[in-house]
């Protein structure tokens, strides 16, 4: 009986340690959300309205969530003048955001996009712990 008791305790301890280890690995593997911020200038308002919808659809297909800020009113609160237009998109990770901006879908939009809007600056921000 003493041996059975020790085996049972060892088995329960092993399951508990394995569960804790698996939970820790899953927590480490979870990537942090990332947000791309694009500061833009409108070159052609009619063309910008058209291409913005196509960009949002391409981002959605790639896993991005467009916050529909492009074309919204931008108000400077501190620092240098605010850009004319700001577009913010949420991604599952920095890598997914970078992959989209290197993708064929993004490249294919370039001719129409470049006629409609000018990118002043674009960057990705990763959420913190």
pLDDT at 111 over 90: yes
Residues 23 and 46 in one domain: no
Scanning the chain, the segments in alpha helix (DSSP H) are 2-29, 45-61, 94-101, 104-108, 110-116
Residues 19 and 47 in one domain: no
Residues 81 and 62 in one domain: yes
Residues 9 and 54 in one domain: no
Mean pLDDT rounded to a whole number for the chain: 88
Residues 103 and 119 in one domain: yes
**What's the CATH code of the domain at 61?**
3.30.70.100
pLDDT at 11 over 90: no
Q: How many domains does the chain divide into? A: 2
Residues 23 and 44 in one domain: no
The burial class, CB within 10 Å (0-12 / 13-18 / 19+), for 17 is exposed
For residue 82 the two structure tokens come to: 């605010």
What pLDDT score was predicted for residue 40? 97
Residues 46 and 105 in one domain: yes
From CA 74, how far away is CA 52, in angstroms rounded? 17
Residues 38 and 90 in one domain: yes
Closest CA to 40 of 98, 95, 122: 122
Residues 120 and 67 in one domain: yes
Residues 22 and 66 in one domain: no
| pLDDT tens profile 76-90 | 999 999 999 999 999
Closest CA to 97 of 71, 128, 65: 65
Residues 22 and 73 in one domain: no
Tell which wins on pLDDT, 21 or 74: 74
Residues 17 and 41 in one domain: no
Give the pLDDT band of residue 20 (cuts 50, 70, 90): low
Give the pLDDT band of residue 17 (cuts 50, 70, 90): confident
Triad 94, 100, 101: Cα angle to 5°: 95
- Taking residues 51-74, what's their average pLDDT? 95
What is the domain range of residue 26? 1-30
Of the given ranges (2-11, 54-63, 97-106), which has the lowest mean pLDDT? 2-11
């Amino acid at each position: 009986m003493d041996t059975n008791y020790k085996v049972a305790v060892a088995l329960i301890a092993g399951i508990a340690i394995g569960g804790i280890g698996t939970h820790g690995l899953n927590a480490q593997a979870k990537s942090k959300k990332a947000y791309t911020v694009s500061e833009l200038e409108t070159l052609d308002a009619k063309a910008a309205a058209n291409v913005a919808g196509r960009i949002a659809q391409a981002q959605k297909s790639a896993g991005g969530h467009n916050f529909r800020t492009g074309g919204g009113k931008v108000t400077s609160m501190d620092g240098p003048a605010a850009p004319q237009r700001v577009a913010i998109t949420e991604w599952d990770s920095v890598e997914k955001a970078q992959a989209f901006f290197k993708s064929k879908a993004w490249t294919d939009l370039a001719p129409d996009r470049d006629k409609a809007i000018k990118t002043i600056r674009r960057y990705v921000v990763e959420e913190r712990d």
